[in-house]
Amino acid sequence: MEWKIGDIVIPNQVVVAPMAGVTNVAFRMICKEFGAGLVVCEMISDKGIHFRNKKTLDMLFVDPTEHPVSVQIFGGSKETLVEAAQFVAENTATDIIDINMGCPVPKVTKTDAGARWLLDPDKIYEMVHAVTSSIDKPVTVKMRTGWDEDHILAVENALAAEEGGAKALAMHGRTRKQLYTGHADWGILKEVADHLTKIPFMGNGDVRTPEEAKKMLDEVGADAVMIGRAALGNPWIVKQTTHYLETGEILEEPTPAEKIKVAKEHLHHLVKAKGEVIGPKEFRSQAAYYLKGIPRSARTKAALNSADTEAEMIDIFDNFLADTLARQAV
């Protein structure tokens, strides 16, 4: 089912969450191939944009196959956040700009950015209004339920973002203190969904299966479901979820051959985007996710972690697949 963020049409209700160090252009392209309605770039520092840091600017590249796509920015100063939003709006091919208000990492929160904003709905309104007033592209906000269990201002913060001009809101059902432990509180997400009457709501947290995605839509009342860690090395979750929401049918799990084929494709996109030295190094952290669930893959994971080139990694994958198929044939 299609829906809209401002004037941008999102073709289905499955959104891939921004994840630092993960949702680079290579990963996003893979998720788009598997049918994601919207992909969101990993968070980009407003200071990095302000100082025109080359690594930061390289992260802003959008491939033509990605649309609709969103670029997420973060920062603690209204001036630099507005400047970053304007730069992204004018100098990239993004359709949407997202503001991070959920990152729980101390090095982000201590700069008054990310989840630090969850303590002050007035600041949320002020920052969102400043950004939405300065650019024409639709602005969205991603946040958490609260700072900790004693400071949960989920509804107030969501309404402040809506009032500030955000065209959609995503919320992860955990507090900043929880990080990624414990359980996402879908009860709080339902409260937020019930209160947001003017803009779409994306529910996030503990969506690991197509059935859980449907529950997020049906029971929480979210307009879309945002899938994060469940998609690591597993873009099939995107295809399975979109198919299930449309038909009620669960698709089969991928075979080892399918997993390795997509892993090599992901590696190739990353090498193309980041170069022959950085690409393979960055792929090491993703390689293990693709091998998850395939028997006897521990040695292959270790070998990939030591490989320096795309060719080496492809040989390791191919040899492992040949061994796996030979064992299956016995």
Nearest to 71 by CA among 142, 162, 143: 142
d(CA 64, CA 116): 34
DSSP 178: T
Residue 31 appears among annotated catalytic residues: no
CA geometry: angle 250, 254, 260, nearest 5 deg: 160
Strands (E), 205-291: 224-227
> Given 103, 113, 231, 287, which residue is catalytic?
103
78-91 vs 121-134: helix axis angle to the nearest 10?
30
d(CA 42, CA 311): 27
Residue whose entry in the numeric block shows the structure tokens 């979820």: 241
Check whether the bond before 68 is cis (ω within 30° of 0): yes
As given in the structure block, the two tokens for residue 138 are: 């639709």
Q: Which residues are catalytic?
A: 103
